[in-house]
Structure 1
Amino acid sequence: MEASSPQDQLSDARELDLENSGNVGPTWAVTEAVRLRRFLCYGSEGATYSTKEQPFSLENALTLVQLVEGGRGCEVAEEVRRLWPLGGATCPNASLFALAVCSQHTDARAKRVALQVLGELCRVPAQLFAFVQYRKELKGAEHGGMWGRALRKAVANWYNGQDALSLANTVTKCKHKAGWSHQDLFRLSHIKPANDAVALISKYVTKGWKAVQETYADREISEELVKVFAYLEAVEKAKHLTDELEVVHLIEEHKLDREQILTHHLKSKEVWKALLKDMPVSSLMRHLGKMTADRVLVPGRPDVAAVCERIQDEQALMKTKTHPFSILVASENYKRGHGKRGKLKWDPNHDIVEALDCAFSKCLSNVEGTGRRFLVGVDVSARLGSLALGSSVSTVAVAAAMSMVILHSEVEAEVLVFSEGAMVPCAISGDTSITQVMAQLVQAHNCITDCSLPILWATDNHKMVDVFIIFTSNETWFGRENPAETLRMYRQKTGVFSKLIVCGMTTNGLSVADPDDRGMLDICGFDSRAVDVIRNFVLDII
């Protein structure tokens, strides 16, 4: 059994609870530390991750509440601080909710640490707005206002701590979220600007552009203020211009973003071409459909070649650590030829489709292996092809992509397609394309799904497996064996504390995992967050 790493320690330490009574086999106890990390990772203390968003409340964060009420709020805040930098190790909103719980408690030290962590980790205004809203919801019907001295100081420090031009960009891109605006927070925090640049931006946010002009237009100001003034002036001009070429000029000169441009200007091809020059690749891929529909990207034109080159830029993909699943989502959405809502339609450009497929293959190298032994079971008892909940990607594409990711990144991994009475190895080599893998998975036997079959196969064939992952789009069924019991018997026979992940890609409800066994996890639907949840689960973070 593996020793725990420093990465997954909480102050109360993780404990292994080995039960060897009867034929149950070893189990790993679900401690309060595990329940807290589950909540921080995916917003639930249970053994099920769902792509269907659930509102956070004290009722579904009982362990979090118990820890804070028990005088351990500082430890909770420190756990948020430890996990957040690990990237996908936390769900930002769940962590913000946890900090809000700590910050509104009567424990002065817990409140102070929580607000310190907020200032260190909160990077975008949407997160700050979310935190303030959670504070408001937690305050509920209690008497007294929520805007005490500590919160006012924390919010003011968040704004004062930013670079002047970055702050100008921040307040003009994301103006409001979760029922709050920058104007609300500037006013309620009683912010005292730390310098002249923040003072200018504060006047802009609270009083408007006209007041800024009246105060600063004829005043001799520093070079930094000149830059901030010019930037805000460009943002304001873009709101009123009718000439698209003037808008293009402002975009190019001041690096304006799409969110700062009026909707009717976004119908202009020239405006989109200007935005494309500095648009992040992740944003570019989200808007491929619209740009194709609006004929910004026309087959055979230089703009298409430039976009394809950026999509496949291996260094850029590596620098941003883009996961193959993110590319898959962009690719499947683009190939579909229409948006989720509305009337937007387009004919997918062949060169762009090929570029996305190429980018997917390149991104496989971005995934760092876990060092565990995997067995992936893809259920073909019902035809794969419906859309996975949470990402609008076909279930066969999800299963194919994740199988390729695991085979490429892990030293020991096997992929099997299974249905009742049949287990067939899936042939995937280094040069196999995702289309070829999907073709192997599109087969149906019209049988009942039995999630215990891959575990039984591993038992019969003496396979040493650390992690079983099942992908299914069918209703799961307890066949000859309950999967949880089958896993325990496998553990007892092999001496390996194996884990089981069942991904019900088309269901909102799944109950295969034993909630009291830390080595079992259910996933309902499938999205980018599910990728992180799986990794965290495998690496014992949750």
Structure 2
Amino acid sequence: MSTQNKPQSKPLRNDQVKNNAGGFVWAVNDMQRLQRFLCLGCEGGTYYQGEKELGIENAKSIIKLIEDGRGVEVVQTIKTYSIEGRTSKQNPIMFALALCAKSTDLSTKQAAYSSLSEICRIPTHLFMFIKYTHALGQNWGRAQRRAVSQWYTKQNPSELAMAVTKYQNREGYTHRDVLRLSHPSTKDPLICFLFDYITHGLQKAIEHLKSTNDNHNTENITDTYQQEVEQKQIILNNDNEEDDEINNKKLLTIEQLKEFLETVEKVKTSTDENELITAIRQHHLVREHLPTNMLNSKNIWAVLLENMPLTAMIRNLGKMSAIDLLREDSEAEKYVVQRLKNRAQLYRARIHPFNILVALETYKQGKGFKGKLQWQVNQQVKNTLEKAFYLSFKYVKPTNQRYLIGLDVSGSMSCGTINGSPSITPAVGSCAMCMVTVRTEPYAKVVAFSDRLIPVDFSKNSKLEDIMTETRRISFGPTDCALPMIWALERKEKIDVFVVYTDNETWFGKVHPSEALQQYRKKMSCPKAKLIVVGMKSNSFTIADPNDRGMLDIVGFDSAAPQVMSLFAEGAI
């Protein structure tokens, strides 16, 4: 049987493997598998694999990389994806880092712990990392105690005070728990006072401070100490406003820190709206500092919005609409819209496209997926969220190539979720992501396929809401990833770049996708026609032939994916 007549249920070459659907494809290498896991996670599993099974497979790939002597490279990859904001959730990042920290390979362990402060930028990340190391059987050895201690002691006191009062407990841990496990030590009087506050409460900390002041003058920080403070590594800063609120008011003395903590404790039980507004403005307090019963105040939310970081603002659009703060033509609406359209702010805040997509899907419903909160949808805010989705991808310039984009809408792509979001299946996520190319390139056609091909009417002016609705209406079936190339050949379409969004569980076709591309190249006299495979699940499969330099496998919902696709299309990589 010739290769061109071999169905996908038969191997084309000896280096192929059988996927979960019974078709033959290639296996991605372990580093590619790691990258898929970091971006896509394993929440919700796939049509063929449960979440636990998928997670174990990904963990084995990471362990194998470490065993092959590539542990430091793994840590560097984790660090790069984290710092560049290329992943939408931190759970896979922290799990992978915990695996490296647990490693018996010394260089891998050292690399993991030395990167802890850069990757765990807020307490939520730190507590998540600690939870995973505990689950993996990692004890509190010297390396972990030292790394966690330095997470606290190397921070600027102003930023640390904001972090520990906002994120008081996460993932089953409190700061008090972590301090008792890590035994941090510092000569910084402000951080010492913070540690006392965390472990004993404010009143005890003040009493201890008074007894210390009987023997030492800690009222002011010397010029030398101020220089040390300025040179400290600031983990939470204005260029790194991921989930955190920034305490712009620098706390340079014990008295200033004490005043801040006294205010934090006082507002916990306050019912005076004016008092809370004053505290928010004077000390840059945030929503988490305030009593729950006061969070229905429109005036309080208006003040919170003044300095609210982008991530928090996007998360709270529904709440602010519910209390009528974002009414049409209001100053709050104008402020929100202006910030959502600011590409530089989106980049600095590490706003991931997937998180904006989830926010858009939630906001347009007028109610949350959980709870009873409902709101009137502000059309201007909704439309700007869509613009922010495109802006949040790394900048992509047009390549002026001719694209045919194939969206796998088969049964397996309609099951499961991306990163645990209940509204975003791989099929829906694919159609949203493909619109980056449609809006960027002058020539880009889109088709959907399962066991048959379905042309869809996506244009530069199509709204995300409409195309996702259209995708959900398409009837699903078995998977044949060769159909986009076959369709283009039958219609004599001149295509430079085929892009296929899929979970690579193809099996139904009479010809392999790679062979369909070869036939297209030959019969259409397009020897340089390329295939980009965008993997939408963190399994180990790809339809891209690793021996063909004109085929590329990349990770879906990596915020850098469109940029990589553009470079590949131009022949730059």
TM-score range normalised by the length of the shorter chain: 0.7 to 0.9
* Residue 498 of structure 1: aligned partner: 531
Contact 2:15 2:26 in 1 (8 A): no
Normalising by the residue count of structure 2, what TM-score does the alignment of the two structures yield? 0.71
- Which of 471, 486, 490 matches 2:513? 486
- Which of 259, 263, 274 matches 1:230? 259
1:335 deviates by 1.9
The equivalences for 1:332-347 within 5 A come to 332-347=361-376
1:161 deviates by 0.8
- What letter corresponds to residue 368 of structure 1 in structure 2? V
Going from structure 1 to structure 2, the CA distance change for 1:444 and 1:249 (only over 3 Å counts) comes to same
- Which of 51, 60, 63 matches 1:62? 60
- Which of 168, 172, 175 matches 1:175? 168
Q: Give per-residue Cα distances to partners, 1:297-336, cap 9 Å, x unaligned.
A: 3445443344344444465346547566544433332221
Structure 1 residue runs of 5 or longer lacking an equivalent are: 1-18, 141-145, 524-528
**Helix, strand or coil: the match of 1:267?**
coil
In 1, distance between residues paired with 2:467 and 2:476?
A: 20
Structure 2 residue runs of 5 or longer lacking an equivalent are: 1-10, 17-23, 221-251, 522-526, 569-573
- What letter corresponds to residue 100 of structure 1 in structure 2? A
- Which of 418, 437, 455 matches 1:406? 437
In 1, distance between residues paired with 2:352 and 2:69?
A: 39
* Residue 415 of structure 1: aligned partner: 446
1:380 deviates by 7.8
In 2, distance between residues paired with 1:104 and 1:498?
A: 39
Bigger mean CA deviation after superposition, 74-83 or 442-451: 442-451
**Helix, strand or coil: the match of 2:183?**
coil
In 2, distance between residues paired with 1:138 and 1:410?
A: 46
Contact 1:513 1:520 in 2 (8 A): no
* Residue 242 of structure 1: aligned partner: 271
What value does the CA root-mean-square deviation take over the aligned residues? Answer: 4.6
Q: What fraction of aligned residue pairs are identical, expressed as a percent?
A: 31
Going from structure 1 to structure 2, the CA distance change for 1:498 and 1:168 (only over 3 Å counts) comes to same
In 1, distance between residues paired with 2:33 and 2:340?
A: 39
Contact 2:451 2:508 in 1 (8 A): no
- Which of 481, 488, 495 matches 1:458? 488
Contact 1:419 1:449 in 2 (8 A): yes
Q: Give per-residue Cα distances to partners, 1:108-136, cap 9 Å, x unaligned.
A: 44332321122343211122212222222
- What letter corresponds to residue 189 of structure 1 in structure 2? S
Q: Give per-residue Cα distances to partners, 1:464-511, cap 9 Å, x unaligned.
A: 454422479xx98754436xx13334246635562434659xxxx999
In 1, distance between residues paired with 2:539 and 2:13?
A: 27
Going from structure 1 to structure 2, the CA distance change for 1:269 and 1:134 (only over 3 Å counts) comes to same
1:444 deviates by 5.4
The equivalences for 1:47-446 within 5 A come to 54=52, 60-69=58-67, 72-88=70-86, 92-139=90-137, 146-216=139-209, 219=213, 221-222=219-220, 223-299=252-328, 301-313=330-342, 316-317=345-346, 320=349, 322=351, 326-357=355-386, 359=388, 363=391, 367-368=395-396, 374-378=403-407, 390-393=420-423, 398=429, 401-410=432-441, 413-417=444-448, 424=455, 426=457, 428-429=459-460, 433-434=463-464
Going from structure 1 to structure 2, the CA distance change for 1:181 and 1:323 (only over 3 Å counts) comes to closer
Contact 1:267 1:294 in 2 (8 A): yes
Contact 1:512 1:522 in 2 (8 A): no
In 2, distance between residues paired with 1:50 and 1:184?
A: 40
Going from structure 1 to structure 2, the CA distance change for 1:213 and 1:316 (only over 3 Å counts) comes to same
Contact 2:394 2:563 in 1 (8 A): no
1:194 deviates by 3.8
Q: How many residues align?
A: 499
Contact 1:269 1:294 in 2 (8 A): yes
In 1, distance between residues paired with 2:361 and 2:183?
A: 47
Contact 2:340 2:388 in 1 (8 A): yes
In 1, distance between residues paired with 2:264 and 2:53?
A: 35
In 1, distance between residues paired with 2:169 and 2:421?
A: 25
